[in-house]
Amino acid sequence: MQFSPLVGRIAGKGARAWSIHFDAVRQRAQGRDILFLTVGDPDQRAPAAVVEATVAALQAGKTGYSPIVGDPALRSAIAARVERRSGVACAAENVAVVPGTQAGLYAALQCLAGSGDEVVALEPVYATYEAVAGAAGARLVTVPLDPAAGFHPDLAALAEAVGPRTRVLWLNSPHNPTGAVFTRAEIEAIAALARRHDLWLLSDEVYEDLAFARPHLSPRSLPGMAERTVVVSSLSKSHAMPGFRLGWIVGPAELIAHLFNLLLCMLYGGPPFIQQGALKAFERDLPEAAALREDYRRRAALFAGILAEAPRCRVIPPEGGMFVLLDVRGTGLGADGFARALLEEEAVAALPCDGFGPGVVGHLRLSLTEDDAILAEAGRRIVRLARRLTIRGGA
């Protein structure tokens, strides 16, 4: 029996990036105590107001079907937040509610690019990006970020990558996995490139509220960009709510109409009790969300400080997000080898970055989604392994 060609396009190195994580999950299920630094799954509790409203909606019987592209009140609330933050008009007709940023990126790209098209993204890319482009039938073209510049974009190289088949520029800031927060000048240059070549700009802004070094700037806020920018985000990171699967797509009304047709034959709407609970996150700025940003800022400084003691390793402190990069190539092991040794010898699960692109081969992405004490212990174990590897290498 044969499968669709789609199964090949959604596989690849990105799908294999999680092998050590899944191995660690199996070991934990067998009773081994493991510290997990693999997944950006916040350890903090979701805001109490959101949880209470969600439970109340569930108890009130909000368990039927919901409108295909989301509850009108929630769409209006998301639009109001986007308009308030960007200064650019946004209405409910510009918003589709989707189950998280990942689903939003998938759905958006299905409507923006197709067979024979090229999607240009800045590399390293999040592990699923290649498969998402492949699922649409498009080809992902990557342009390396500059490690010497803190993984900020090489704007000349990005411009050179745009060709006759380019349909979409794909932007992610704050960036996963590097933690870079792109500057206003960089965002403005990328927006100008999209206008010059009449391209869509797909902006993954899931870490928008976790920017440390400088404020996040959405390209949608820039002149002439609302009609060609598609913003995808969610409450997963900013409000510690990944299990709610509550995200959104913001774009031109014509795109939302196409998304209606896609979501009609794909999801048929999201859980209404979750959407009603999520409204609380948009009615006012919740204190839990502001606390999350400060948690990750503090944790990044703490963890990076400990990892700086790891011999023959180089830590890259983030400008935003919830991850720290560690270059382990100097130890003589690649990222996969170091991560496997770390799991076997120190019971710490880390994510090798090789699946994110050549720019971070030999790096680990280490999640900050544990409390200070656990992060400190995990950091000490990483340093301990690096020291042992140094001794072995010297011998």
Phi-psi domain of 154 (left: phi exceeds 0; alpha: psi -120 through 50; beta: other): beta
Q: Are 249 and 95 in contact (CB under 8 A)?
A: yes
The per-residue pLDDT for 12 is 63
Identify the CA nearest to 394 among candidates 292, 334, 311: 311
Mean pLDDT value of segment 301-321? 96
Give the domain CATH number at 217: 3.40.640.10
Same domain for 213 and 341, yes or no, is: no
Question: Strands, DSSP E only, in the chain?
Answer: 35-36, 95-98, 118-123, 139-146, 152-153, 166-172, 200-204, 229-234, 247-250, 314-316, 323-327, 348-349, 351-352, 363-367
Residues 114 and 223 in one domain: yes
- Asked if residue 255 and residue 333 are part of one domain, the reply reads no
Whether residue 1 is contained in a domain is answered as: no
What pLDDT does residue 148 have?
87
Q: Is the dihedral of CA 174, 178, 179, 181 positive or negative?
A: negative
Domain assignment present for residue 209? The answer is yes
* Residue 395 clears pLDDT 60, i.e. is over it: no
What band does 298 get if pLDDT is binned at 50, 70 and 90?
very high
Domain termination residue (choose one: 242, 266, 283): 283
Question: Which residue has better confidence, 382 or 16?
Answer: 382
What is the rounded CA–CA span in Å between residue 188 and residue 229? 13
Global confidence as pTM: 0.94
When comparing pLDDT for 392 and 267, which is higher? 267
Task: Categorize the per-residue pLDDT at 85 as very low, low, confident or very high, splitting at 50, 70 and 90.
Answer: very high
- How many structural domains is the chain composed of? 2
Q: What is the mean pLDDT of residues 133-156?
A: 95
61 sits in which H/E element: none
| Listed residues 234, 250, 283: the one ending a domain | 283
Cα angle for residues 351, 324, 293 (degrees, 5° grid)? 120
Is 90 exceeded by the pLDDT of residue 66?
Answer: yes
- Residues 271, 301 within the same domain: no
Distance CA 97, CA 255 (A): 13
**164-189: buried (b, 16+ CB within 10 Å) or exposed (e) per residue?**
eebbbbbbbbbbbbbbbbbbeebbbb
* 277 occurs within a structural domain: yes
d(CA 200, CA 219): 11
Among the candidates 234, 265, 283, a domain finishes at 283
When pLDDT is cut at 50, 70 and 90, the band that residue 392 belongs to is confident
DSSP string, 214-273: S----GGGSTT-TTTEEEEEESTTTTT-GGG--EEEE--HHHHHHHHHHHHTTT----HH
**Same domain, residue pair 137 and 257:** yes
Which whole number is the average pLDDT over 72-85? 97
Pair 307, 165 in one domain: no
Same domain, 272 and 362: no
In this structure, the dihedral spanned by the alpha carbons of residues 98, 103, 105 and 111, taken in order and rounded to 10 degrees, is -80
> Could you tell me if residue 100 is inside a domain?
yes
Give the domain range for residue 139: 48-283
CATH no. for residue 15? 3.90.1150.10
pLDDT of residue 13: 65
For residue 8, the SS3 value is helix
Q: Specify whether 276 is located in the same domain as 293.
A: no
Determine the average pLDDT of the residues in 146-155.
93
Residue 345 lies in a domain: yes
Are residues 10 and 147 located together in one domain of the fold? Answer: no
**Is residue 180 scored above 50 in pLDDT?**
yes
**DSSP one-letter string for 120-146:** EEEES--TTHHHHHHHTT-EEEEEEEE
- pLDDT value, residue 84: 95
User: Which range (70-74, 135-139, 354-358) has the least confidence?
Assistant: 354-358
Q: Looking at the structure, tell me whether residues 172 and 319 fall in a common domain.
A: no
| Same-domain pairing of 246 and 357 | no
Confidence of residue 169 (pLDDT cuts 50, 70, 90): very high
Q: What share of the chain is helix, strand, coil (3-state, %, to 5)?
A: 50, 15, 35
Is position 294 within any domain? yes
User: Are 127 and 217 in a shared domain?
Assistant: yes
Q: Return the pLDDT at 276.
A: 96
With vertex at residue 333, the alpha carbon angle to CA 329 and CA 337, rounded to the nearest 5 degrees, is 125
Please report whether residue 123 resides in a domain. Answer: yes
Q: Assess if residue 312 is contained within a domain.
A: yes
